[in-house]
Structure 1
Amino acid sequence: MKAVIMAGGEGTRLRPLTSNTPKPMLPLVNRPMMEHIIDLLKAHGINEIVVTVAFMPNAIRNHFGDGSEFGVKMTYASEEHPLGTAGSVRNAMGELTETFLVISGDVLTDIDLSALVQSHVDRQALATIGLVRVEDPLEYGIVISNEDGSIERFLEKPTWGQVFSDTINSGIYVLEPEIFDWIAADVPVDFSSDVFPALLEAGKPVFGSVAEGYWEDVGTLSAYLRAHKDILDAKVSVRIPGFEVSTGVFIGEGVEINHGVVINGPAVIGDNCFLESGAELGEYSVLGDGVRMRRDGHIERSVIHENAYIGESVMIRGTLVGRASDLRRGVRCEEGVVLGDEVFVGENAVLSSEIKVYPFKTVEAGAVVNSSVIWESRGARSLFGNGGVTGLANVDMTPELAAKVALAFATSLKKDATVVVSRDSSRAARMLKRAMIAGLNAGGVNVLDLETASVPLTRFHCRATLVSGAITLRLSADDPDSVIIRFFDRGGSDILEEQQRKIERLFTREDFRRVRPADIGDIDLVPRSLEQYALALEHTIDVKAVAARRFKVVIDYSYGSTSFVMPNVLAKLGAEVLVVNPFASTKGTLGFDRDEHAAQVAALVKASGADLGALIDPSGEQLLLVDDNGTVLSFDQLLFVFLDLVCDNLLGDTVALPVTVSRAAAEIVESRGYKVLWTKTSAAALMEEADAPAVGFAANLEGGIILPGFLPAFDAAAGLLKMLDLLAGRDVKLSELVAQAPSVHLLHEQVITPWEQKGTVMRTLVEQTHGREVDLIDGIKVHHDSGWVLVLPDPEEPITHIWAEGDSAGDARTLSQEYARRIRQMLK
């Protein structure tokens, strides 16, 4: 039997270690990753190997040659241009005339390949996919299989709302030569996204086999360190070079260790290393061949590649050091530092956490290379969180970070694109906005500066000709010491997760486009920005009808910049307006409390005899209403009233609502002859669906109102004007509609769920719901006779959310408690 080792990957997430080394050649305990794969193949009787190469192919060919030195026969198939996983294997089809195995050359594994092959033969499969279970399946392709092992479907790079299993595609396949009939020649083709789904659709026998053993996709720098630890902890069976002189301590040939050296295993010391008296090698440390470690140096939980020099009193923790790097006396490297090949670090330099230094660079003596971007310290698992990039102002969220994030965004756009930029009134947002403008310009992107503007105004100007997107910076509503950076697409909607991941990849790799001086972006102001927005708002309502009603309204602008635009519009409506907090104020925003402001508006409505009151949050996106009796509407009531009114004359035939919304909302819409489009819970997902031609209205349960005919995004000002328009059109009081609104019994509960168990929880719940009606739009929504339950993992916190609606409060409580109990039992 033959095997194909896919060795064409660039390993971009492992830069700078892979900047000038192909990923399969990156050492794991001083042996290239691909050597461990060859050992595994040999152990299962596979001695004929075809290697597909693309990036720096000569480095692989020169090391392995014809394979005779490693006890195998090796041939090579080169890609002139990227062909994808399947395309690269097709490139070697001339060598593959019988059943063959495919495996990546850059994973660490000891799974039972013989069992995988036998499973393939027993099932007479065309393709068998090796499956493994992982704690966090988000970064992988999830595979959902039936009880007989046949594949049901694939999910590539899912969100937590799509995690219905923790079983993933390991990238190890057993295939028949017939597979080449399904792979087009000379074009990029991928197994998991192209070939296997096509086979499923054609009814071909595609099976999955859950493999026993260790598997790690060594795709990131943290995974690279973790792989070394797992090897030293004997979690995976691989050959470690050298002699085991004590438990877990391996020493190569020609090593010189002076008296007084302390070695706390497990650790690996490569051939011909030199350790001077007073040096201390801590646990989980690996020294490559020829490393020199001078006296009083300290290394722990670090990997040092071959021929590096570690000077006197150098302190290294949790660091990766590239080949032939030179660290002089007194250098300190903190957790997460990565040095590429041949980096020089001068005496007493300090490299703080998460710093990357690319190959052949020099860090001057005494320099403090500092980064305060401590994402992990705040529990974030990625750059983007819920709604955008968030961090403590001038601590996590520094001008340096802001400029890099902007440069990453600029790189994701075409050169000479135009981006709208705005902020709130805070000094922190102003400081960071200036840094972001610099980053955008450096990437060759032009800026239209709205200065201080509301979020809806920013979204509105995204839809102008030639604008590619927008950025707005504001104090976080949840933490007044934090700033959130939000990104919008050319339609004014929040950018989707795919675009977020692209920006994050560019940011993490620091793979930025830096243009020539002549191509640096320009900065302009948006002329008559408020007038354009106000005029567009007027066109969404019947101004004469509203004016004829002569509304009396109380409005609290919550110190936000919506106060800049609304007076011009309201003046044309003939409304008598009592305004509260009608100016932008950072101090006021910091002290904003929705309940207190709502109570104040309610008191003013009752005292003044107003027709209604409105509270617009500081961002201008969330709306809260008070009826003519002074009753503050709940978000459910706000939604029901809007649905009742907009269904009088909906522009379209569909209303978009998140899956967390009550069944009563659907009953209102459907009773009027319209359809409900259920969406994911995120604001970005709701806005994306709201932009569809058939959708005439959308809203969430947090006061977010979307009028797609005006702007497919939340706009509290537009929502308030539309409410006045609708009330005038039906000639009804708001309190009368509130009285008719249905009562709902909807509960929300949270269960603490460790990250590594979220996938298991969701997979088990899917298995437990067999036979029931289930929606998998976002998380798992299970329908019961007395109501429904939605279980959804939180994308940022180790939490699982449970929403439950019942025919009564007792039914909702019973359903919520039952599913919370199930989850907690799974976690024991």
Structure 2
Amino acid sequence: MPTDLSALVKAYDVRGTVPDQLDESIARAIGAGFVDVTGADKIVTAHDMRETGPGLARAFAEGALHRGASVVEAGLSSTDMLYFASGHLGLPGAMFTASHNPAQYNGIKMTRANAVAIGQDSGLADIRKAAERYLDEGLPAAEHAGTVEQVDLLRLYAEYLRGLVDLSGIRALKVVVDAGNGMGGYTVPAVLGDAVLPALPLTLVSLYFELDGSFPNHEANPLEPKNIVDLQRAVVAEGADIGIAFDGDADRCFVVDAKGEPVPPSAITALVATRELAKAPGSAIIHNLITSHAVPEIVREHGGVPIRTRVGHSFIKAEMARVNAVFGGEHSAHYYFRDFWFADTGMLAAMHVLAALGEQPRTLADLTAEYTRYVASGEINSTVDDQAARVEAIRAAFAGRATEVDELDGLTVQLPDGTWFNVRASNTEPLLRLNVEGPTEQAMAQTRDEALAAIRG
């Protein structure tokens, strides 16, 4: 039976359990297909702290070597360090990570040169087909195999980020950082601490900086409330000014204020957007359709051009490049920067928040209050048997009241009182994802409950 990798190759990346879904032979075939599709004569690879990362990355490199490409191994890295490597070196890149997924998972995020994302419609489907062919027929040897070299980019990465946001002159801040045993434990000491560069006016309190892909303390997914409880407690106990949590591969960051209260990612998006617009007046700002309506309002108020996109990093990066947007933000705490090859970096977003806080005397809660205008439900997942049928049930339930309906990504419904909601089908699970926002808690809750009743029958 022909090999079928469709369960492993997702919309934006490769992700599965090791070794039953993803093993070194598959990584080797994907590495060969990656070179075929990108046409690269040299690539860069990196991996996070998961135990299976080095072996998978080396196997991927072997596949690339078979197809005549040379390989630069950046070794232990956060995902945004791999994006830096791709941009700094001008090479296609492959990052071995499963982000916030449990320990038994691993995966591959791939880019063209300069961190240009590869998704299903921009090469990933072709890489999958090539890999399937190589698994079935074997890998032909290249006439001229490439070479392998190792590089350490941590200092260059830290220097680059510090050059984008100057924290040297801010007021002294006490910062609790929860790395979740992920790659933040490697990058935070270099960028925000004094491990490789001069100290900043930051007192860092570290939680779970030991690199451990088994995630012994909690999952490295700060969007899940239970995973930031330790951070919230520590911020209050330490009398800190701010708390920051990173996910496993440190491309996302989540922020809590001095009272331990979460700051919505939409508020962070609006805050960073105003800072970037101050440097690049009139620029475009990308936001996905789940972010708060406060984001486009604030962008317009600061002279920017808000542009709404589908959810997903490959869509956002492509749209950012198309319109030369200076910044983009998602409800999932991914933040994208033109100064960072249109790629997402949790570290740079965290630095902007620290700069905004440290450049003025107010607390973080007071600072971000102006960027939080509405009440949001957060994402609510429901398991359903027939996604399409349940979406139609929601459409019917609100048909007589909606002032606007669109299908850019799932179904978005706008109601007369300013409440709106979006419901989207998961690409990988039998789930519908609901997000609701309203002008008041009561308005949001009423719409949330009605939408859930329609979803769950």
Q: Distance in 1 between matches of 2:215 and 2:156?
A: 27
Deviation at 1:731, TM superposition (A): 4.4
Residues 592 and 418 of structure 1: CA distance in aligned 2, closer, same or farther (over 3 Å): same
Q: Distance in 1 between matches of 2:375 and 2:390?
A: 32
- 1:751 is displaced (CA, Å) by 4.9
Stretch moving more, 719-728 or 432-441? 719-728
> Paired residue for 1:804?
436
Go from structure 1 to structure 2 and tell me whether the alpha carbon gap of 1:597 and 1:561 turns closer, same or farther (over 3 Å shift). same
Partner of 1:745: 376
> Amino acid of the residue matched to residue 208 of structure 2?
N
Any conservation in 2 of the 1:407–1:513 contact (CA below 8 Å)? no
What is the deviation of 1:653? 2.0
The residue type equivalent to 1:613 in the other structure is: G
Please show how residues 580-595 of structure 1 align to structure 2 within 5 Å.
Answer: 580-588=207-215, 591-592=218-219, 594=222, 595=225
Counterpart for residue 75 of structure 2: 451
* Residue identity opposite 2:326 in structure 1: G
In the alignment, is the contact (CA less than 8 A) between 1:534 and 1:566 conserved in 2? no
CA distance in structure 1 between the partners assigned to 2:190 and 2:452 by the alignment: 51
In the alignment of these two chains, the number of paired residues is: 444
Match of 2:106 in 1: 483
Give the counterpart of 2:150 among 492, 501, 525.
525
Retained in 2: the 8 A contact 1:747–1:804? Answer: yes
Higher strand fraction (1 or 2): 1
Instruction: Decide whether the 8 Å contact of 1:407 with 1:512 is kept in 2.
Output: no
Change (3 A) 1:523 1:597: same
Q: 2:237, 2:77 → 1: CA distance?
A: 32
Secondary structure, aligned partner of 1:463: helix
- Residue 418 of structure 1 corresponds to 42
What is the SS of the residue equivalent to 2:161? Answer: helix
Would the aligned equivalents of 1:555 and 1:577 in 2 still touch at CA under 8 Å? Answer: yes
Structure 2 partner of 1:553: 175
> Aligned partners of 2:41 and 2:393: how far apart in 1?
43
Please list the CA deviations of residues 631-662 of structure 1 after superposition, one character each: whole Å capped at 9, or x if unmatched.
33343444454456555545652221110112
Alpha-carbon distance in structure 1 between the residues aligned to 2:17 and 2:69: 27
**Cα shift at 1:422:** 1.0
**What pairs up with 1:295-694 in 2 under 5 angstroms?**
337=1, 354=2, 382-414=7-39, 417-467=41-91, 469-475=92-98, 477-498=100-121, 499-510=123-134, 516-526=141-151, 528-546=152-170, 549-570=171-192, 571=194, 572=198, 573-588=200-215, 591-592=218-219, 594=222, 595=225, 598-643=228-273, 646=276, 648-650=278-280, 653-692=283-322, 694=324
Q: Partners in 1 of 2:99 and 2:176 — Cα distance?
A: 26
Q: Distance in 1 between matches of 2:103 and 2:393?
A: 38
Q: Which runs of 5+ in 2 are unaligned?
A: none
For 1:574 and 1:823, how far apart are their aligned partners in 2? 50
The structure richer in helix per residue is 2
State whether structure 2 residue 426 is matched by structure 1 residue 790. no
Q: Does 1:778 align with 2:409?
A: yes
TM-score (norm 1): 0.49
Structure 1 runs of 4+ with >6 Å offset: none
TM-aligned CA distance change 1:819 to 1:752, over 3 Å: same
Q: How far apart, in 1, do the equivalents of 2:277 and 2:362 lie? A: 15
Q: Structure 1 CA distance, aligned partners of 2:420 and 2:398?
A: 15
Q: Which amino acid aligns with 2:202?
A: A
Listed as ranges, the gaps of 5+ residues in structure 1 are 1-336, 338-353, 356-372, 376-380
Distance 1:409 1:734, change over 3 A: same
Say whether the 8 Å CA contact 2:18–2:105 is kept in structure 1.
Answer: yes
Amino acid at match of 1:413: T
SS in 1 for 2:206: strand
1:703 aligned onto 2:333: yes
- 1:677-724, Cα deviation, whole Å (9 max, x unpaired): 111111221222233454222111222222322342221211122222
SS in 2 for 1:719: helix
User: AA paired with 2:331?
Assistant: L
Amino acid at match of 2:95: T
Q: Is the 8 A contact 2:393 2:455 kept in 1?
A: no
**Pair 1:758-2:383 in alignment:** no
The Cα RMSD (Å) is: 3.3
Q: One-letter code of the match for 1:392?
A: T
Query: Secondary structure of the residue that 2:262 maps to in structure 1?
Result: coil
Kindly tell me: are residues 763 and 471 of structure 1, through their superposed partners in 2, closer, same or farther at Cα, counting changes over 3 Å? farther
Q: Which has the larger radius of gyration?
A: 1
Q: Is the 8 A contact 1:410 1:440 kept in 2?
A: yes
1-side partners of 2:45 and 2:389: how far apart? 38
CA displacement, residues 540-599 of structure 1 (integer Å, 9 cap, x when unaligned) = 1234423xx233322233223333343344333232322333342234468435456633
* Residue identity in the other structure for 2:348: A
User: Aligned partners of 2:25, 2:396: CA distance in 1, in Å?
Assistant: 44
Q: CA deviation at 1:620?
A: 0.9
SS at match of 1:555: strand
Aligned counterparts of 1:629 and 1:394: Cα–Cα separation in 2: 43
Return the alpha-carbon distance in structure 1 between the equivalents of residues 242 and 145 of structure 2.
50
Distance 1:420 1:513 in 2: 24
* Structure 2 CA distance for partners of 1:562 and 1:804, relative to 1, 3 Å: closer
CA distance in 1, matches of 2:52, 2:399: 48
Helix, strand or coil at the partner of 2:61: helix
The answer as to 2:361 corresponding to 1:726 is no
Partner in structure 2 of residue 238 of structure 1: none
Which deviations, in whole Å up to 9, do the C-alpha atoms of 1:386-411 show, x marking residues without a partner?
54222221122122222122222222
Q: CA deviation at 1:733?
A: 2.8
> What SS does structure 2 have at the residue aligned with 1:488?
strand
Distance apart, 1:619 and its partner CA: 0.7
Q: Structure 2 CA distance, aligned partners of 1:540 and 1:520?
A: 38
Q: CA deviation at 1:600?
A: 3.0
Secondary structure, in 3 states, of the residue corresponding to 2:255? strand
Rounded Cα–Cα distance in structure 2 between residues aligned with 1:399 and 1:465: 26
Cα 1:597–1:762 shift into 2, 3 Å = closer
Change (3 A) 1:438 1:678: same
* Larger relative contact order (CA 8 Å, sep ≥ 6): 2
State the identity %. Answer: 19
Q: How does 1:193-204 map to 2 (within 5 A)?
A: none
Is the 1:550–1:575 Cα contact (8 Å) retained in structure 2? yes
